[in-house]
């Protein structure tokens, strides 16, 4: 390894672990460009040197306990800064509320400088080192992360790496004709090569942003824009792009960000004649970024946004010896959960969870019921076809159900990116509104409200039962409803995702301790689940987990075991009371009520759940005491 005299012993030791592999991979991508690689190494040291003493101390602690995020102690909350508290200082003022929610992992949605009306919710970044002015400054972000660390909280931030805004300095200079900056994107003199790309590259938004290229009038050239015309794809074949973007990522880490969410990870390498998705070079880039974090800021985690079924996202974890992403999203389970709510049939969810549960335990997923985005119905239709389910008709049924267009449905949602030609629309709405809470309150039907809240609570119990890190969408803890005011906003009216991105209702949050209110019932239920999860080792990330056969297509059964404690969790997705036909012989008690409850032919009311637990250690202890008592009597 080449060692600089400027490097200190800690950096040198970390670099020595990875130098050979990193140089090999970098040289493979960039044809042995020694100058670019030397710059990359010097950039790593500069970021290491600039890292604060407090963050370095945190790094040292996490190097000792490398699996600190896997022990089942993390509960996340995802939020838009402006919606939750107006700005970064507002979020800091509300840390007491976040802590009261039982949350110790805060995911701040995109907040870097982006042009108004052309940002896709902050995913078109104009400056990676500036916060959107109305949200605050980088100093405010660093102050917030510092306060979070003092409160035992980790902070996640999106890193939009596939593209920049057309307002980014690089893009502006490319428009002006500077070849160096045009080479940082994909520019073409005419449509010949772009048309060749179009033959094999799928469209992301065929209705709202058709095609993968846009004519740039200022440069009189065609530029690649996979997502929206104002989002220009970066050319990672250019080592300068990779060097500078990694530098930007590490700069954000040095502001105290603990988890970097790599946005649109599968898209970042482009090759003519392919789909430009999931190419081998993507994994090389992510692996180098992982090593860069291990060298500069080993307390930092990489979270990959990879929207595919679990068995296909596994390569993005890398291997035990050569890891890539520390965590990935469990996207398919979210969609399958809502399918199950609509159909009352758990078979698809069971099938999908069996795949997830069979994966090695070192794989950590983030689980959620709702996120900032729409719900896409990318279900396993090959599996569903055996039950007579056809894709187009089923998508229409699901979208009709969750808009309340089907008799018996109280859900309230809206379509996103409707494509009538393909019958392929996605869905928006808050968890509570999709569960029927909004309709029940509108109708002032107390019975229907309780029934809808039971569904909402049951879904959160299912969320907390899965292995990985549960993430709440801000507002779900008080069953916040859809926000229809976006229809009147000229910058938002054509994007129905703002239906569930409404401002935090602090007047509603003030009712969280009133058990007679919707907010109080939801808040107390979630807090109770979190406390039970903290108290019982069976929820540990290393627990064995499996599907429990209930012999009832309306009732999902999940088993967990860890260090002598066993949990049987049952969830009734049906609209009638059901029986889980299980026959477990141990003595169980209901975690929710604390009362003994046999795990045999368990009755579960509609929209309800049961957490049944047995402790083999306690049973063995009681048996030993019984033997001692018998000996004494003898």
User: Is there a domain that residue 320 lies in?
Assistant: yes
pLDDT in tens, 370-406: 999 899 998 999 999 999 999 999 999 999 999 999 9
User: Is there a domain that residue 414 lies in?
Assistant: yes
Cβ-proximal residues to 186 (8 Å cutoff; 6+ apart), any chain: 223, 224, 233, 235, 270
Q: What is the number of structural domains in the chain?
A: 3
pLDDT in tens, 478-532: 999 999 999 999 989 989 999 999 999 999 999 999 999 999 999 999 999 999 9
Q: What distances in angstroms separate CA 115 from CA 92, 125, 187, 323, 527, one per listed residue?
A: 25, 8, 22, 35, 38
Domain CATH for 490:
3.20.20.80
User: Is there a domain that residue 555 lies in?
Assistant: yes
pLDDT-derived band of residue 627, with 50, 70 and 90 as boundaries? very low
pLDDT-derived band of residue 117, with 50, 70 and 90 as boundaries? confident
What is the per-residue pLDDT for 330?
87
Residue with the bigger pLDDT between 433 and 116: it is 433
What is the per-residue pLDDT for 620?
60
What is the per-residue pLDDT for 281?
97
Q: Taking a C-beta distance cutoff of 8 angstroms, is the pair 582, 600 a contact?
A: yes
User: Is there a domain that residue 67 lies in?
Assistant: no
d(CA 46, CA 295): 12
The residue from 233, 257, 278 where one domain ends is: 233
Catalytic residue among 258, 305, 441, 483: 305
Residues 525, 548, single domain; the answer is no
pLDDT-derived band of residue 619, with 50, 70 and 90 as boundaries? low
pLDDT of 361 higher than 50: yes
- DSSP at 51: S
Phi-psi region of 55 (alpha: psi -120 to 50; beta: other; left: phi over 0): alpha
pLDDT in tens, 535-566: 999 999 899 999 999 999 999 999 999 999 99
Domain CATH for 613:
2.60.40.1180
Cα torsion for 429, 435, 440, 445, to the nearest 10°?
A: 180
pLDDT of 629 higher than 60: no
The residue from 482, 503, 535 where one domain ends is: 535
User: Is there a domain that residue 7 lies in?
Assistant: no
When the pLDDT of each residue in the chain is averaged and rounded to a whole number, the result is 94
pLDDT in tens, 132-148: 999 999 999 999 999 99
pLDDT in tens, 218-245: 999 999 999 999 999 999 999 999 999 9
Residue 584: exposure state from Cβ atoms within 10 A (0-12, 13-18, ≥19): middle
Enclosing domain of residue 558: 543-621
Count H helices and E strands in the chain, helices first.
23, 24
Cα torsion for 195, 196, 201, 204, to the nearest 10°?
A: -10
d(CA 308, CA 326): 17
pLDDT of 581 higher than 50: yes
Cβ-proximal residues to 211 (8 Å cutoff; 6+ apart), any chain: 198, 203
Residues 570, 505, single domain; the answer is no
What is the per-residue pLDDT for 631?
55
Residues 311, 446, single domain; the answer is yes
User: Is there a domain that residue 53 lies in?
Assistant: no
Residues 416, 454, single domain; the answer is yes
Residues 412, 494, single domain; the answer is yes
Residues 148, 190, single domain; the answer is no
What is the per-residue pLDDT for 633?
59
pLDDT-derived band of residue 362, with 50, 70 and 90 as boundaries? confident
Q: Taking a C-beta distance cutoff of 8 angstroms, is the pair 231, 225 a contact?
A: yes
User: Is there a domain that residue 550 lies in?
Assistant: yes
Lowest pLDDT segment from 298-302, 310-314, 551-555: 310-314
- Assess whether 150 carries a catalytic annotation: no
Instruction: Tell me how far apart the 2 most distant CA atoms of the chain are, in Å.
Output: 99
Residues 516, 609, single domain; the answer is no
Residues 521, 611, single domain; the answer is no
pLDDT of 422 higher than 90: no
What is the per-residue pLDDT for 207?
77
Catalytic residue among 263, 414, 476, 477: 263
The residue from 233, 261, 282 where one domain ends is: 233
pLDDT-derived band of residue 533, with 50, 70 and 90 as boundaries? very high
Residues 167, 315, single domain; the answer is no
pLDDT of 31 higher than 60: yes
- Assess whether 549 carries a catalytic annotation: no
User: Is there a domain that residue 411 lies in?
Assistant: yes
Residues 448, 550, single domain; the answer is no
Residue with the bigger pLDDT between 581 and 419: it is 581
Residues 527, 557, single domain; the answer is no
Residues 421, 514, single domain; the answer is yes
């Amino acid at each position: 390894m080449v060692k600089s005299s400027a490097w200190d012993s800690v950096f040198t030791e970390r670099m020595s672990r990875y130098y050979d592999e990193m140089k090999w991979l970098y040289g493979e991508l960039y044809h042995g460009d020694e100058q670019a690689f030397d710059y990359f190494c010097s950039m790593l040291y500069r970021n290491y040197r600039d890292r604060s003493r407090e963050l370095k101390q945190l790094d040292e602690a996490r190097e000792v306990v490398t699996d600190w995020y896997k022990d089942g102690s993390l509960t996340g909350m995802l939020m838009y800064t402006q919606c939750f508290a107006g700005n970064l200082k507002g979020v800091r003022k509300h840390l007491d509320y976040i802590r009261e929610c039982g949350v110790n992992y805060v995911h701040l949605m995109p907040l870097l400088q982006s042009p108004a009306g052309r940002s896709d919710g902050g995913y078109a970044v104009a400056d990676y080192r500036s916060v959107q002015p109305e949200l605050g400054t980088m100093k405010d972000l660093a102050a917030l992360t510092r306060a979070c660390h003092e409160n035992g909280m980790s902070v996640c931030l999106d890193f939009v790496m596939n593209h920049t805004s057309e307002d980014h300095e690089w893009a502006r200079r490319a428009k002006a004709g500077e070849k160096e900056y045009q080479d940082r994107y994909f520019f073409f003199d005419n449509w010949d090569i772009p048309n060749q790309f179009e033959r094999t590259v799928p469209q992301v938004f065929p209705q709202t942003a058709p095609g993968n290229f846009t004519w740039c009038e200022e440069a009189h050239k065609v530029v690649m824009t996979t997502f929206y015309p104002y989002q220009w794809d970066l050319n990672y074949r250019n080592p300068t792009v990779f060097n500078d973007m990694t530098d930007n990522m590490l700069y954000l880490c040095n502001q105290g960000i603990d988890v970097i969410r790599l946005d649109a990870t599968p898209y970042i390498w482009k090759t003519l004649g392919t789909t430009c998705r999931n190419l081998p070079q993507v994994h090389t880039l992510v692996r180098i970024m992982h090593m860069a974090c291990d060298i500069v800021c080993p307390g930092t985690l990489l979270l990959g946004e990879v929207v595919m079924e679990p068995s296909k996202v596994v390569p993005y974890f890398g291997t035990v010896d050569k890891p890539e992403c520390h965590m990935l999203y469990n996207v398919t389970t979210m969609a399958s959960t809502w399918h199950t709510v609509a159909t009352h049939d758990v078979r698809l969810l069971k099938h999908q969870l069996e795949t997830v549960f069979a994966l090695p335990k070192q794989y950590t997923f983030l689980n959620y019921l709702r996120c900032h985005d729409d719900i896409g119905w990318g279900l396993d239709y090959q599996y569903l076809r055996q039950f007579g389910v056809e894709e187009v008709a089923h998508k229409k049924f699901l979208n009709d159900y969750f808009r309340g267009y089907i008799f018996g449905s109280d859900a309230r949602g809206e379509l996103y990116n409707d494509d009538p030609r393909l019958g392929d629309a996605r869905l928006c709405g808050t968890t509570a509104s999709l569960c029927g809470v909004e309709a029940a309150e509108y109708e002032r039907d107390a019975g229907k409200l309780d029934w809808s809240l039971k569904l909402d609570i049951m879904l959160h119990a299912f969320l907390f039962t899965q292995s990985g890190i549960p993430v709440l969408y801000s507002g779900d803890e008080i069953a916040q409803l859809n926000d229809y005011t976006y229809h009147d906003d000229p910058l938002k009216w054509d994007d129905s995702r703002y239906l569930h991105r409404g401002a935090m209702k602090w007047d509603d949050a003030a009712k969280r301790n009133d058990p007679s209110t919707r907010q109080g019932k939801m808040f107390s239920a979630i807090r109770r689940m979190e406390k039970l999860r903290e108290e019982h080792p069976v929820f540990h990330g290393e627990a064995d987990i499996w599907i429990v056969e209930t012999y009832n297509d309306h009732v999902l059964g999940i088993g967990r075991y860890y260090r002598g404690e066993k949990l049987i969790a049952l969830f009734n997705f049906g609209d009638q009371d059901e029986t889980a036909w299980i026959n477990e012989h141990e003595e169980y008690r209901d975690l929710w009520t604390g009362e003994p409850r046999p795990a045999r032919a368990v009755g579960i009311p509609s929209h309800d759940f049961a957490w049944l637990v047995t402790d083999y250690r306690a049973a063995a202890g009681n048996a030993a005491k019984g033997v001692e008592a018998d000996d004494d009597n003898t």
